Chains A and B, each alone.
Chain A
Amino acid sequence: MRSVRWRGFVNVVWTVICGLGVVFAVVPLASLLWLVVSRGVAGLTPSFFVSLPTPVGEPGGGVGNAIAGTFLLVGLASVVALPVGIGAGVYLAEKGDGKAGKLVRFTTEVLSGVPSIVIGIVAYGLAVVPMKRFSALAGGLALALLMVPTLARSTEEFVRLVPGALREASLALGVPAWRTSLLVVLRTAAGGIITAVLLAVARAAGETAPLLFTALNNQYWNFRPDQPTASLTVQIFNYAISPYEDWHAKAWTAALVLLILVGALNLLARILARNKMMEGA
C-alpha cells in the first residue's frame, strides 16, 4: 500500500493534468478572439457594412453584398428547414418510440454528422446541375439540408420536456389530439424551439464549405434567388487565401462581423433558454 502522502501527490498531479486540458482549450480561444477583434476593428467603419468589395489597393470598400447574401441564403434555407426540421422533431417526440421512429432518430443522429462539404455536393447535383447555374437557391438548399437534422434533434428534446400531465389535462377536457399537440404542447415548448432555431441559424450563417460550389460568390449586390450570391464566409475565405495584405486586413474585419453576427444569435439563444428554464423551475 502506497503512503497517503504519495496518493495525495498523485491526486494533485492528475488535477494539474486535467487543468492543462483547460489551458489547451482556452489559450487558442483567447488568442483567436483577441486577434479577430484587434486586427478586425480598424477596418470596421459604417461603410464596410454597406459598400461593395473594391479591387486590391483601392481604399474603402466593404462586404455589404456578402452580408446581404448571407441573410438571403440563411433566409431561403430557413423557409424550408424550419417547418421540416421542427416537424420531424415533433414526430420523434410524439411517435418516435416505435420501430419506424427509432430508425428516423438514428438516421437524424447520423445525418447530423455528415460533413457539410458532402451536403454541398448533393445540393450541387440537386439544384446547380438542373438549373445550369450557381445560385442562392442551391446554397440555401445546402444549408437547409444541414439544418434539418440539427433542428429535429433539439426540437425533440424540448418537446419531450413538456410535462405529460399538461397533455393529458388537455386531452381529458376533450381537446382533440392534434389541437393538443399544436396549441398546448408546441406552445409550451415554443421558447425552447426558438432557441434551437436561433442556434441552427447561427450555425448555417457560419457555414462555408457547402456554399463554395452552390451559391459560389458575387462581386455585386444580388437579391435574386436564381443568381450566384456572395456570403460573408466565402468572402472571408477568398480574402484570406489571397496574396494581398490589403485583403488580409479585410478578411479579419469580415471575420469580426461574422463573429458578431454568430455571437449575437448565440447570446440571444442563451438568454431565451435561461428565461425558459427559470419559468419551468
Chain B
Amino acid sequence: MALTPAGTTARAGVSNLGDRTWAAALVVFGGAVMVIAGLILLELGRESAPAWQRIGFLRFLVSSDWDPVQEKYGALPFIYGTLVTSAIAILVAVPVSVGLALFLSEMGPRKLRRPVAFAVEVLAAIPSVIFGLWGLFVLVPWLRTTVEPALQSAFGFLPLFQGPPIGLGYLAAGLILAVMILPTISSVTNEVLKTVPLALKEGALALGATRWEAIRMAVLPYARPGIVGAALLGLGRALGETMAVTMVIGNSPEIHASLFAPGYSLPAVIANEFAEATSDVYVGALAALALVLFGVTLILNAAAQLLLQAVARGPRRA
C-alpha cells in the first residue's frame, strides 16, 4: 500500500469530526454564559426604557417622591434604604467575619474549628425567606422591646436613635443582612488567609511574636486586598438581598435619619410592587430600579473579583 495518508486521514477525519463537534458544543455552552449576560442587560434596558423616557435619568434618581397612583416615581428613598441597611450590615459583618475567619484558621482551639466551620456552612445554606420569617417574629420583637429602648436611653441624643422604637426598620434589616452575609465574607476571607505564605507567619512566630502579633504584622497586611474583596462580595449580596429585608424593613417609601424608622430598599419595592404594577411607566420604573441595582452589584462584583485574583497571584513585591 502506498504511503498516501488516505487511510489515516479517513480515520482521523471521523475523530476530527467528533472533536470538532465537541469543541463547538463546548464553545456554545461557554457562549451561553455570555448570552445570558447580554440578555440580562438587554431585557433590563428594554423594560426600563418607558421610565427613562417619561421621567428622565437624573430626576428619577434624585427625586424622593414615590406615588405610583399620581404617577410620581422617585428612586431616592429606595437607594437611601439600600445604602443605609447595607452600611449597617457591612459595619457589623466585616469585623465579625474577619474574627470568625481568624478563629477558624489561626486563633481558635482546633477542636472547635470543625463544628464552627460546619455551622457557618449551614448558615449559608438557609433560604432567605426563612431568615425573613425569623427576623419578623424573633429579631424585630427583640429589637422593639430590648435593643432599641436601650440604644435610645444611651445614645438618644443622636438623630440615628430617635423616634418610637417599633422594631421594623433600617436597623432590623441591617442586622439581618449582617447575619446573612457573614458566611460569604468569612469563607472568602478564610480562603484568602490560606494563601498567605506560611513562611511569613512562621518567620514572625520564630522571632518571638505572639500569635496575634504574627497575624497583625504578617498575615493581615498580606491578606488585606483579599479581605476588601471579600467585603465587597458581601456588600454585593447585602445590596441585592430581597426577601429578608422586605419582611423586616417596614416598607415605607420615605427617608428617615433614625435607624429605628421604617424604610424601603430597592429589591424590597420590586418584590412588593412588580406583580401589581399596571402601567408601562410603573413597570418601567421598577425595572429601572432593578437596572440601578444590577449596575451597582456588577461594579462591586467585578472589583471584588479583580482584588481576589490579585491576591491569588501574590504581590509583585515580596
Contact = CB atoms under 8 A, between A and B. Distances in A.
Main SS class of interface, A: helix
A233 B127 contact: yes
A158 interface: no
Interface of A: 7-8, 10-11, 14-15, 17-22, 24-26, 28-29, 31-33, 35-36, 83-84, 86-88, 90-92, 94-96, 100-101, 103-104, 106-111, 113-122, 124-126, 134, 145, 148-149, 152, 176-179, 181-182, 202-203, 205-209, 212-213, 216, 233, 236-237, 240-241, 248, 251-252, 255, 258-259, 262-263, 266
B242 interface: yes
A84 B18 CA distance: 19
Contacts, number: 282
10 contacts: A7-B210, A21-B99, A95-B27, A104-B30, A110-B37, A134-B275, A178-B23, A206-B127, A252-B133, A262-B127
A259 B128 CA distance: 11
B239 A240 contact: no
B271 interface: yes
Nearest to B233: A113
A115 B134 CA distance: 21
Contacts of A19: 99, 103, 107-108
B274 A90 contact: no
A251 B247 CA distance: 13
B107 to A, nearest CB: 5
Contacts of B47: 121, 124-125
B129 A206 contact: yes
Contacts of A101: 30
A14 B40 contact: no
B64 interface: no
A22 B210 CA distance: 21
A259 to B, nearest CB: 6
Interface in B205-243: 210-213, 215, 233, 236-237, 239-243
Given A11-B211, A206-B129, A213-B274, 13 more contacts: A7-B213, A11-B213, A18-B99, A110-B305, A113-B297, A114-B297, A117-B270, A121-B270, A121-B274, A177-B19, A178-B18, A240-B132, A255-B129
B130 A258 contact: yes
Contacts of A176: 15, 18-19
A36 B84 CA distance: 29
Nearest to A86: B29
A115 B239 CA distance: 8
B26 A90 contact: yes
Contact of B126 (A7, A32, A152): A32
Contacts of B30: 87-88, 91-92, 95-96, 100-101, 104
B278 to A, nearest CB: 13
A33 B130 CA distance: 10
A118 B293 contact: yes
Contacts of B87: none
Given A21-B98, A22-B100, A88-B30, A114 B129 contact: no
List of 9 A-B pairs having minimum Cβ-Cβ separation, nearest first: A115-B240, A206-B127, A87-B29, A21-B99, A178-B22, A91-B30, A176-B15, A21-B100, A113-B301
B210 A118 contact: no
A90 B22 CA distance: 11
B59 interface: no
A252 B102 CA distance: 35
A209 B242 contact: yes
B29 A91 contact: yes
